[in-house]
Amino acid sequence: MGIVYTAWNAEIVGTLLHSAQSRLLDLGFQANHIRLLEVPGAFELPLGAQSLFEQHQLDGVICLGAVIKGDTPHFDFVSQACTQGILRVGLDYKKPCIFGVLTVLNTEQALARIAGGSVGDKGQEAADTLLHLLQRL
């Protein structure tokens, strides 16, 4: 398995990463079989996922990041490119490429979606989604 994650919004993404890794270990994956790759931001997640698939011949990759809306349309461009890129990598490799990217309006919404937040644990959910697909594809 692989996890590609962003350096941008490190506090939020670090919690997503820890949660996803912990869940994979709970599900029986071995730590030495989980490949990690940090990329600068969400725009680079698809390329990172592609690189993990090519270099390590993985069965699946989880993409983790957080894009928080600002005052410019940058949010829209990055979110759309990231979403489309992750989808394309999964379709091109015919393997699960999981979208674990928060696209939120503010930091409070992001914090509500990470471990211990009121809306759930999106890192754990990404790991569960990966396992679900691996069992069915």
pLDDT at 107: 95
Domains of the chain, each with CATH number or no CATH = 2-136 (3.40.50.960)
CA distance 129 to 84: 18
**pLDDT over threshold 90, residue 126:** yes
**pLDDT over threshold 90, residue 115:** no
Residue 34, C-beta contacts closer than 8 angstroms, at least 6 positions apart: 1, 2, 3, 21, 24
**pLDDT over threshold 90, residue 117:** no
pLDDT at 74: 92
Active site residue 74: yes
**pLDDT over threshold 90, residue 15:** yes
Marked catalytic residue, from 18, 33, 74, 132: 74
**pLDDT over threshold 90, residue 116:** no
CA distance 85 to 79: 10
In this predicted model, what pLDDT tens digit does every residue of 42-78 receive, in sequence order? 999 999 999 999 999 999 999 999 999 989 899 999 9
pLDDT at 135: 95
For the chain, what is the mean pLDDT?
A: 96
Contact 99, 42 (CB under 8 A): no
